Chain A
Amino acid sequence: MLSRIAESLYWLGRYTERAEATARILDVYSHALLEDRVGGEESACRRLVEAMGAADAAAAVEVDTNIEALVGFFVDDPRFPGSVVCSVHATWENARGAREAMSSEMWESINATHRTLDGNRGRSMYAQHGFLGWVRDRAAIVSGLADATMSHDDTWRFIVLGRSLERVDLTVRLLSTRLGEAWGSAGWVATLRCCAAYESYLRTYRRGVEGSKALEFLLLDRLFPRSVFHALVAAETVLIDLDPASDRNGAASEPRRVVGRACADLEFVRVAELERSLPEHLARLERAGTTAHDAIAKRFFNNAVAIRWSA
């Protein structure tokens, strides 16, 4: 398939996931504050800024003490490139250029989302909640249609690749915000909820939230789709299918090598060791995400280089 199309689909996967996850994080933190104002608005704002990984952006616009203003900023401020509205818009931009590659049901869903975006927005907290729920629903529909109405060929694989790497990035970032914090449970409940993992966690461990168990769940769980390990395996699987060259020694494909290595790192690490050197592990995973992205761009999206490699 065309590199240009592949790249659009990859970004479509990433932005759909980003829109959904960002909407969820905003909802979790703003409602955690409403349900428990006793903790104070300022600290809730600080935690939200951390979870969004946007300390610099938020500091630049001085909205970090009013949760309503802060949520508004993350939803649609043009100065914030990771905003929900930007992500929805970027999904559509990428889909538009690759319209013929995806099923028409999927394109219609993305286009309808983009078209009705403004009509679903509002400024108050009350309206924001409705909007964020709507964004999550729409993103879930788009992902669902990709899985259910497209052949699971290379076209689909690039969407999944983007989605999976975005998940790795996001979960690692959320875990990074827990560094330096206590292992107490309140913050971990919010982190689990941000990954839509709270109920699955409870069912899995059948006990209250403990920091080390939550960490284990979000990093290593084999079955939960937003765990770092699960997302890495999903990425590795599609990378193998995308580049099926049989290798006698090691992996010739750089993206696969990077992702596979991060995967193996997590699969065979001892939990105790992971806890001991968590900052290094998270930093390494973060680097793996960036490196994998660069390698994918080089291998699949940049025609000139790719041709030289396969020649």
Chain B
Amino acid sequence: MPRGRVNVDAVGDLLDAYEPIDAWDEMFDAHGDTRHDYRALYEHVQTLSKQDFDERCATRDRVFRDQGITFAHSGEERPFPLDLVPRVISASEWSMIEKGVSQRVRALERFLDDVYGPGEIMRARVIPRRLVVTSSHFHRAAVGGIAPPRGVRVHVAGIDLVRDGDGKICVLEDNIRIPSGISYVVENRRAMTHVFPELFAAHRVQPVSDYPSRLLQTLTAAAPRGVDDPRVVLLTPGVHNAAYFEHSFLARQMGIELVEGRDLVCRDNVVYMLTTGGEERVDVVYRRVDDEFLDPLHFLPTSMLGCAGIVNAARAGNVTIANFLGNGVADDKAVYPYVPAMIEFYLGERPILSNVETYMLEDDDVRGWALDRLDQLVWKPADGSGGKGIVIGPRAEPEALEAVRAAVEAEPRSWIAQVPVALSTAPTYVSTGMQPRHLDLRPFALNDGENVWVVPGGLTRVALNEGSLVVNSSQGGGSKDTWVLAPAGAEVEDGITDDADRGCEPLARQPFDSAPDASEQAAQQQ
């Protein structure tokens, strides 16, 4: 179906039958024209046939399976589903997202520091005290009064963004407990350069591969005061965790030890790991274990995943826990509607990224109004993550909606209602060819106490099922490599320029030496 698209000498026709649905499409505008930043990509994809594409898909699956890049889904290890059509973000739009994410992280840091300290925001009645103290992730007893090194509690953040029907980027939720997915950002890029090297030739994409070394710098900077050469470890729940691949990936890329709870011991408020050389002191624990399992002395006494005493060690200033404990109070979905107000309250700035319209259900009038529109709103459990328990009103069965009504009426604090966002779509290769699929974006930010750095791009998650709005990989979501284009004309430093503190004279080098000429002998032997 030819439309006013860029004319190319195409042998393939993968995108000819592409029919955008009623949502903002990342690649095509409302007239069916290719958006500016997608033109080079469009032209290249159009030179490929379905057969070419299937071959590349087979290579991708083999590469992922060989490398063991998998995700546990219902007890089964599957290769992480990477769609081979990348998502492209222009330099200017990225600049806005980057600033917005950074601003949000700074405000959330201030909020955490405040609610576990003086509580000024509650005294100023910007956010109700009741809402904060009833959060199931508010751990005042464990955390109150601990000043983490350099004031950092959110070392790593993942902010979920979506694009609405008008093309505006909004924040869907914040993840500042133990956000995951960054390994797929790095590995998706690596896989794409192997599977589709020619796509990169026409683009200048900002690299993502230095994330692990940036993370290590962030963690090292967060070490307790007075520790010069900190021992950093990554604490994983173990091989059965859904994100175990990511844990081992990060540990290897940072060259740090990957430990489980049983490898750690805490004595006299100092954390040690058990090694063949005896006990070794640990200074920074990048933990990928939930708060509730981290320390049986403070939280679940039955936890076998944590290290008893680690919270007290942190209180004594002997170990840094990253991300810090109790962050869940700030990414609680019932606190989410107040984040724009937090930004203004703490930073005195206008929020760069706006929220999705959200209703709090404790107020009887609001709840009544919302429940009247049960089938028009999206219903989310306030303390949920990973897409669990979300009910999308317009698509839900009547029984599911009635169950939500009962649950909301029983515990209004535990739910929020949101206006559905018609998540933007992008061409995605599925069994029936190129089809529009909904997607979101999770940029990752690192905070070392002085700067918030946002990795260019992030994880684009895509709902592979037709019409689905749920992008979580635990629920049939896939991903796309996310390309942030370099600003036009920018020559980014390539690391080996002239800022040498010292250099040396180059030295002449002989070409390869070679074996004695064997051809003559061979000729004689015949």
> When the two chains form their complex, are residues A38 and B492 in contact, meaning their CB atoms are under 8 A apart?
yes
Contacts of B501 in A (CB 8 A): 182-183
Contacts of A3 in B (CB 8 A): none
Contacts of B496 in A (CB 8 A): 47, 181-182, 184, 186-187
0/1 interface trace, chain B 264-278, chain A, CB 8 Å (1 if under): 000000000000000
0/1 interface trace, chain A 168-185, chain B, CB 8 Å (1 if under): 000001001001111111
> When the two chains form their complex, are residues B512 and A182 in contact, meaning their CB atoms are under 8 A apart?
no
Within A10-63, which residues are at the interface with B (CB < 8 Å)?
A: 11, 14-15, 18, 30-31, 34-40, 43, 47, 53-54, 56-57
Contacts of B518 in A (CB 8 A): 93
Tell whether A199 is near chain B: CB-to-CB under 8 Å.
Answer: yes
> When the two chains form their complex, are residues B514 and A81 in contact, meaning their CB atoms are under 8 A apart?
yes
Residues A180 and B495 in contact in the complex (CB < 8 Å), given A36-B207, A290-B513: no
Contacts of A47 in B (CB 8 A): 496
Rounded to whole Å, the gap between the CB of B189 and the closest CB of chain A is 6
List the one stretch of B123-131, B250-258, B388-396 in contact with chain A.
B250-258
Tell whether B303 is near chain A: CB-to-CB under 8 Å.
Answer: no
Determine which residue in A39, A47, A278 has the highest number of CB atoms from chain B within 10 A of its CB, and name it: A39
Determine which residue in A14, A36, A39, A279 has the highest number of CB atoms from chain B within 10 A of its CB, and name it: A36
Residues A125 and B252 in contact in the complex (CB < 8 Å), given A35-B189, A181-B503, A186-B494: no
> When the two chains form their complex, are residues B512 and A208 in contact, meaning their CB atoms are under 8 A apart?
no
Tell whether B103 is near chain A: CB-to-CB under 8 Å.
Answer: no
Residues A53 and B505 in contact in the complex (CB < 8 Å), given A31-B193, A38-B492: no
Within B501-522, which residues are at the interface with A (CB < 8 Å)?
A: 501-507, 509-516, 518, 522
Residues A39 and B494 in contact in the complex (CB < 8 Å), given A56-B511, A126-B197, A282-B507: yes
Contacts of B486 in A (CB 8 A): 37-38
Contacts of B495 in A (CB 8 A): 39, 182, 184-187
| Alpha-carbon separation in the docked complex, A36 to B196 (Å) | 15
Contacts of A286 in B (CB 8 A): 507, 509-510
| Alpha-carbon separation in the docked complex, A57 to B486 (Å) | 34
> When the two chains form their complex, are residues B200 and A209 in contact, meaning their CB atoms are under 8 A apart?
no
Chain B: how many interface residues by the 8 Å CB criterion? Answer: 58
Q: How large is the interface on A (under 10, 10 to 19, 20 to 34, 35 or more residues)?
A: 35 or more
Tell whether A201 is near chain B: CB-to-CB under 8 Å.
Answer: yes
Rounded to whole Å, the gap between the CB of A170 and the closest CB of chain B is 10
Contacts of A35 in B (CB 8 A): 189-190, 193, 205, 207-209
Partner of A279, one of B189, B254, B507: B507
0/1 interface trace, chain B 186-225, chain A, CB 8 Å (1 if under): 0001100111111010011111110001001100100000
Partner of B256, one of A129, A173, A206, A290: A206
| Alpha-carbon separation in the docked complex, A288 to B350 (Å) | 66
> When the two chains form their complex, are residues A37 and B205 in contact, meaning their CB atoms are under 8 A apart?
yes
Whose C-beta in chain A lies nearest to the C-beta of B497? A182
> When the two chains form their complex, are residues A39 and B492 in contact, meaning their CB atoms are under 8 A apart?
yes
Tell whether B235 is near chain A: CB-to-CB under 8 Å.
Answer: no
| Alpha-carbon separation in the docked complex, A205 to B256 (Å) | 9
Contacts of B506 in A (CB 8 A): 176, 179-180, 279
Tell whether A124 is near chain B: CB-to-CB under 8 Å.
Answer: yes
Contacts of B504 in A (CB 8 A): 179-180, 278-279
> When the two chains form their complex, are residues A180 and B503 in contact, meaning their CB atoms are under 8 A apart?
yes
Contacts of B166 in A (CB 8 A): none
> When the two chains form their complex, are residues B220 and A207 in contact, meaning their CB atoms are under 8 A apart?
yes
Contacts of A205 in B (CB 8 A): 255
> When the two chains form their complex, are residues A208 and B213 in contact, meaning their CB atoms are under 8 A apart?
yes
Contacts of A206 in B (CB 8 A): 229, 231-232, 255-256
Within B41-67, which residues are at the interface with A (CB < 8 Å)?
A: 56, 59
Contacts of B512 in A (CB 8 A): 18, 53-54, 81-82
| Alpha-carbon separation in the docked complex, A43 to B497 (Å) | 11
> When the two chains form their complex, are residues B197 and A129 in contact, meaning their CB atoms are under 8 A apart?
yes
Tell whether A94 is near chain B: CB-to-CB under 8 Å.
Answer: yes
Partner of B193, one of A34, A39, A176, A182: A34
Rounded to whole Å, the gap between the CB of A79 and the closest CB of chain B is 12
0/1 interface trace, chain A 267-281, chain B, CB 8 Å (1 if under): 000000000001100
| Alpha-carbon separation in the docked complex, A279 to B504 (Å) | 7
Within A266-311, which residues are at the interface with B (CB < 8 Å)?
A: 278-279, 282-283, 286, 290, 293
Contacts of A183 in B (CB 8 A): 500-502
Partner of A38, one of B206, B254, B510: B206
Partner of B507, one of A129, A176, A207: A176
Contacts of A185 in B (CB 8 A): 213, 495
> When the two chains form their complex, are residues A129 and B490 in contact, meaning their CB atoms are under 8 A apart?
no
Tell whether B499 is near chain A: CB-to-CB under 8 Å.
Answer: yes
> When the two chains form their complex, are residues B511 and A82 in contact, meaning their CB atoms are under 8 A apart?
yes
| Alpha-carbon separation in the docked complex, A90 to B514 (Å) | 10
Contacts of B220 in A (CB 8 A): 207
Partner of B505, one of A201, A279, A293: A279
Rounded to whole Å, the gap between the CB of A69 and the closest CB of chain B is 12
Contacts of B196 in A (CB 8 A): 126
| Alpha-carbon separation in the docked complex, A36 to B207 (Å) | 5
9 A–B contact pairs at CB < 8 A? A18-B512, A37-B486, A82-B511, A126-B59, A180-B503, A182-B495, A184-B495, A202-B254, A208-B217
Identify 19 new A-B residue pairs, CB closer than 8 A, beyond the known A38-B204, A207-B216, A208-B213: A31-B193, A34-B197, A35-B189, A35-B190, A36-B209, A37-B486, A53-B511, A54-B512, A124-B198, A125-B197, A176-B509, A182-B496, A182-B497, A182-B500, A202-B252, A204-B255, A205-B255, A207-B255, A279-B505
Taking beta carbons and an 8 Å cutoff, which residues of A are in contact with B?
7, 11, 14-15, 18, 30-31, 34-40, 43, 47, 53-54, 56-57, 81-82, 90, 93-94, 124-126, 129-130, 173, 176, 179-187, 199, 201-209, 278-279, 282-283, 286, 290, 293
Q: 3 tightest CB-CB pairs across the interface, nearest first?
A: A186-B495, A202-B255, A39-B494
